[in-house]
């Protein structure tokens, strides 16, 4: 075994909206081959999905965040246009502060490019591609736009290797782009020009490989919709075997990597992976072997079209002024380990687990230095209530407008040799005794800065 992929994690939001829901609203659906698409919840974005995939990749590859030497993050939809978001991803996953970090953006093929760079590097690299594109409501790209994330743990001695690669780039402006300061993907829709901008770079990159395109068990090909991949003059059955666009929609930078994860999960031993980005360019990889996968790609929360628009924030009111519990960014930052990982402290005098880990121990009342301990992600609800419409503090009003009522609970998590009880917001309904899992979510946005933490999701 040599350097390659040791473990894979994949995640998609549970919310789904169907092609029929779009057809009922618009009288048409302009994303051929897409049956349903994944929809981020009101408090999910590319960063929270990245953490979900990263957790699973570390678990699948028997890795730990503290052992990661570098993080590569690929997305076309970062929650902030300028900020190194790998800092927050690393905090969630307990990646050392001195780990190398790279952000890849601006093209849907950056997920594949980030993986290639990781294979060429040294040490343990966590590669994450996470995306949730949007478009204008009546645009074909919006009809196809989905959401999903995938992560690869790249290290020495891995069971999966990349044995060949090739790239091809051509000048094809206008096929798919997002203007500066705009959140919506668009394009000029110039028919044969658009199709050629996809098929010609893909074909050129594949032809430049030493391998024959007919020799692969699976083809993980970029999928802006469910029709365009089958115009690339490749083995359509091999594409269909691992495509995710029909169930998740267009996942942009995560599209080809998610199909590669599907190939591993189906135990395909030889896979062609091709990432494409408008501009236009393609990167093709020959992947030999399989890697363990932990995936959570199923969704059972079906949205009608108005609920879908609420999640997008298209039909919600303005956030009320005043009354919010202002927490300055420096104060929020000082508690990042508690907010991102629920880092607690074990009392050196009596062994009690304390949250937050500061001040005197509430059990023995000794003023001690607490030993850091990170609780498990799964716990049990001991007390719960629901915050109904109009009952949320102003900073949560936007979330409530998009999602509706939400629960708040006291949850008991195993921690070290003991347990720790924590207050936490619950996604969806709550009931005492229910088992929940701590998941990364956006808490709220204040001073234009997203504040992230953990919420509880029923198992």
Q: pLDDT tens across 46-95, in order?
A: 999 999 999 999 999 999 999 999 999 999 999 999 999 999 999 999 99
pLDDT value at residue 240: 98
Q: Measuring CA to CA, which residue among 303, 221, 229 is closest to residue 259? A: 221
Structural tokens at position 86: 């790998």
> Is residue 190 included in any domain, yes or no?
yes
Q: Which domain holds residue 172?
A: 2-312
Structural tokens at position 161: 């290797």
Asked if 66 and 91 count as a contact pair (C-beta separation under 8 A), the reply is no
Is the same domain home to 251 and 161? yes
Is the same domain home to 360 and 286? no
What pTM, to 2 d.p., does this model score? 0.95
Rounded to a whole number, what is the distance in angstroms from the first to the last CA of the chain? 37
Asked if 67 and 7 count as a contact pair (C-beta separation under 8 A), the reply is no
Integer Cα distance of 204 and 220 in angstroms: 16
Spatial CB neighbours of 180, under 8 Å, sequence gap ≥ 6? none
Count of Cβ atoms closer than 10 Å to residue 428 Cβ: 17
**What does the pLDDT profile of the chain (459 residues) look like in tens digits?**
589 999 999 999 999 999 999 999 999 999 999 999 999 999 999 999 999 999 999 999 999 999 999 999 999 999 999 999 999 999 999 999 999 999 999 999 999 999 999 999 999 999 999 999 999 999 999 999 999 999 999 999 999 999 999 999 989 999 999 999 899 999 999 999 999 999 999 999 999 999 887 889 999 999 999 999 999 999 999 999 999 999 999 999 999 999 999 999 999 999 999 999 998 899 999 999 999 999 999 998 999 999 999 888 877 655 555 555 678 889 889 999 999 999 999 999 999 999 999 999 999 999 999 999 999 999 999 999 988 776 677 778 778 778 888 889 999 999 998 999 999 999 877 789 999 999 999 999 888 899 999 999 998
Integer Cα distance of 126 and 65 in angstroms: 9
Dihedral of the alpha carbons of 273, 277, 282, 286, in degrees to the nearest 10: -10
Chosen domain end from 312, 344, 364: 312
The structural domain count of the chain equals 2
Is the same domain home to 189 and 225? yes
Is the same domain home to 359 and 291? no
pLDDT digits (tens, 9 = 90+) for 166-176: 999 989 999 99
pLDDT value at residue 322: 55
Exposure of 51 in the CB half-sphere (CA atoms within 13 A):
25
Chosen domain end from 278, 312, 346: 312
Spatial CB neighbours of 108, under 8 Å, sequence gap ≥ 6? 76, 131, 176, 222, 224, 252, 253, 255, 275, 276, 277, 278
Burial class for 153, CB neighbours closer than 10 Å (0-12, 13-18, 19+): buried
> Is residue 253 included in any domain, yes or no?
yes
Structural tokens at position 144: 């196809």
Asked if 339 and 453 count as a contact pair (C-beta separation under 8 A), the reply is yes
> Is residue 319 included in any domain, yes or no?
no
Structural tokens at position 141: 């790209």
> Is residue 320 included in any domain, yes or no?
no
Dihedral of the alpha carbons of 66, 72, 77, 78, in degrees to the nearest 10: 50
Is the same domain home to 228 and 108? yes
Is the same domain home to 341 and 287? no
Report the CATH number at residue 132: 3.40.47.10
> Is residue 262 included in any domain, yes or no?
yes
Is the same domain home to 185 and 284? yes
> Is residue 211 included in any domain, yes or no?
yes
Is the same domain home to 243 and 333? no
Distances 359 to 354, 356, 367, 369 between C-alpha atoms, Å: 10, 9, 6, 9
DSSP per-residue codes, 312-364: HTTT--PPPPS------HHHHHHTHHHHHH--EEE-TTT--EESS--SB-TTT
Is the same domain home to 130 and 18? yes
- Whether cis (ω within 30° of 0) applies to the bond prior to 280 is yes
Count of Cβ atoms closer than 10 Å to residue 452 Cβ: 25
């Amino acid at each position: 075994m040599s350097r390659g992929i040791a473990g894979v994690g994949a995640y998609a939001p549970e919310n789904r909206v169907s092609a029929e829901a779009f057809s009922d609203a618009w009288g048409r659906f302009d994303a051929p081959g897409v049956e349903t698409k994944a929809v981020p919840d009101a408090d999910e974005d590319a960063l929270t999905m990245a953490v979900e995939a990263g957790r699973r990749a570390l678990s699948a590859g028997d890795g730990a965040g503290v052992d990661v030497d570098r993080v590569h993050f690929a997305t076309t939809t970062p929650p902030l246009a300028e900020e190194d978001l790998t800092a927050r991803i690393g905090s969630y996953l307990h990646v050392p502060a001195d780990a190398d970090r790279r952000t890849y953006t601006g093209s849907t093929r950056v997920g594949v490019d980030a993986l290639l760079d990781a294979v060429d590097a040294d040490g343990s690299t966590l590669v994450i591609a996470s995306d949730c594109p949007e478009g204008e409501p009546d645009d074909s790209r919006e009809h196809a736009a989905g959401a999903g994330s995938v992560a690869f743990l790249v290290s020495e001695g891995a069971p999966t290797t990349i044995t060949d690669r090739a790239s091809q780039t051509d000048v094809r402006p206008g096929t798919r782009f997002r203007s500066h300061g705009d959140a919506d993907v668009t394009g000029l829709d110039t028919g044969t020009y658009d199709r050629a901008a996809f098929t010609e770079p893909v074909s050129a990159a594949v032809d430049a490989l030493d391998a024959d395109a007919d020799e692969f068990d699976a083809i993980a090909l970029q999928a802006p919709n469910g029709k365009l991949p089958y115009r690339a003059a490749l083995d359509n059955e091999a594409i269909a075997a691992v495509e995710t666009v029909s169930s998740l929609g267009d996942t942009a930078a995560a599209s080809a990597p998610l199909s590669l994860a599907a190939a591993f999960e189906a135990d395909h031993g030889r896979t062609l992976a091709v990432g494409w980005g408008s501009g236009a360019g393609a990167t093709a990889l020959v992947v030999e072997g399989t890697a363990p996968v932990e995936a959570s790609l199923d969704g059972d929360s079906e949205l009608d079209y108005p609920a879908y628009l609420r999640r997008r924030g298209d039909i919600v009111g303005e956030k009320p002024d005043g009354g919010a519990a202002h927490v300055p960014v420096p104060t929020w930052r000082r508690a990042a380990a508690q907010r991102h990982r629920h880092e607690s402290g074990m009392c050196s005098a009596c062994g009690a687990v304390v949250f937050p880990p500061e001040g005197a121990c509430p059990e023995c009342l000794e003023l001690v230095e607490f030993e850091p301990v990170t609780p498990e992600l799964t716990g049990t609800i001991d007390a719960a209530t629901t915050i109904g419409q109009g009952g949320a503090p102003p900073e949560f009003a936007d979330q409530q407008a998009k999602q509706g009522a939400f629960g708040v609970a006291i949850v008991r998590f195993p921690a070290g040799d003991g347990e720790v009880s924590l207050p936490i917001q619950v996604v969806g309904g709550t009931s005492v005794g229910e088992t929940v899992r701590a998941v990364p979510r956006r808490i709220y946005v204040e001073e234009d800065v997203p504040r992230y933490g953990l919420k509880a999701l029923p198992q």
